[in-house]
Amino acid sequence: MSQLLVNQVLLISDKELTIEFLGNVLEGERFAVRSARTAASAIESIRAASPDAIVCEQRVAGEGVLEILPQLAQIDSLADVPVIILASTDSSRKRGLLREAIRYGASDVIFKPADPDLLVRKIQMLLHARDMQRQRLDFISMLTRDLNGPITSITGYCRLLMRGSYGEIESEKIRKVIESIAVAGDRLRRQTSQFLYYTRLESGMLEFDFEKTMLPPLVEAASSDVRAELQDRTPSLDIDVQSNLPEIVCDPHELSVALKEAFRFSFANHGDSPESVRVFILHDEASGHVRCAITDRGIGHTAEQIEVLFDHYETINTPSSARDAFGMGLYLTRAIVEAQGGEVTLQSVPGEGTTLEIALTILPPNAKSDL
Check whether 13 has a pLDDT greater than 90.
Answer: yes
- 333, 262 in Cβ contact below 8 A? yes
Nearby residues of 361 by Cβ (< 8 Å), 6 or more positions away? 248, 249, 288, 289, 341, 342
The CB-side HSE value for 59 (13 A sphere, CA atoms) comes to 4
User: Which comes out higher in pLDDT, residue 230 or 175?
Assistant: 175
Best CA proximity match to 298, nearest among 322, 323, 329: 322
- 60, 39 in Cβ contact below 8 A? yes
Check whether 95 has a pLDDT greater than 90.
Answer: no
Beta bridge partners of 34: 10
* pLDDT > 70 fraction of the chain, expressed in percent and rounded: 88
**Which SS3 state, helix, strand or coil, does residue 178 take?**
helix
Residue 66 binned pLDDT confidence (cut-offs 50, 70, 90): confident
Specify the range with the lowest mean pLDDT, choosing from 11-25, 101-115, 255-269, 319-333: 319-333
* pLDDT digits 0-9 by tens, 27-40: 999 999 999 999 99
Write the CA distances from 175 to 152, 158, 166, integer angstroms: 19, 9, 13
Summarize the chain as % helix, strand, coil (round to 5): 55, 20, 30
| pLDDT at res. 368 | 39
Amino acid at 111: F
Q: How far apart are the first and last CA of the chain?
A: 42
Calpha distance 32→226 (Å, rounded): 49
Check whether 353 has a pLDDT greater than 70.
Answer: yes
* pLDDT digits 0-9 by tens, 249-264: 899 999 999 999 999 8
* pLDDT digits 0-9 by tens, 260-303: 999 988 988 877 777 889 999 999 988 889 999 999 988 888 88
Residue 236 binned pLDDT confidence (cut-offs 50, 70, 90): confident
Best CA proximity match to 80, nearest among 50, 60, 110, 44: 50
Calpha distance 324→312 (Å, rounded): 13
- Helix axis angle for 39-48 and 65-73, nearest 10°, is 20
* pLDDT digits 0-9 by tens, 127-182: 998 888 888 777 877 877 788 888 889 988 998 998 888 888 888 899 889 988 98
| pLDDT at res. 51 | 94
| pLDDT at res. 105 | 81
CA quadruple 76, 79, 84, 86: dihedral sign:
positive
User: Which comes out higher in pLDDT, residue 112 or 118?
Assistant: 118
Q: Of 86-100, 261-275, 301-315, 338-352, which one has max mean pLDDT? A: 338-352
* Start-end of H helices in the chain: 16-28, 39-48, 65-73, 94-103, 116-162, 172-202, 215-230, 252-270, 303-309, 320-323, 329-339
| pLDDT at res. 355 | 94
Check whether 204 has a pLDDT greater than 70.
Answer: no
- 248, 361 in Cβ contact below 8 A? yes
User: Which comes out higher in pLDDT, residue 198 or 55?
Assistant: 55
| pLDDT at res. 1 | 38
Cis amide leading into 364 (omega within 30): no
Q: Report the chain's mean pLDDT, rounded to a whole number.
A: 83
Beta bridge partners of 167: 165
Calpha distance 343→322 (Å, rounded): 24
Calpha distance 339→324 (Å, rounded): 25
User: Which comes out higher in pLDDT, residue 98 or 119?
Assistant: 119
φ/ψ of 345, rounded to 5, equals: -130, 160
Q: Is 109 exposed, middle or buried (0-12, 13-18, 19+ CB in 10 A)?
A: buried
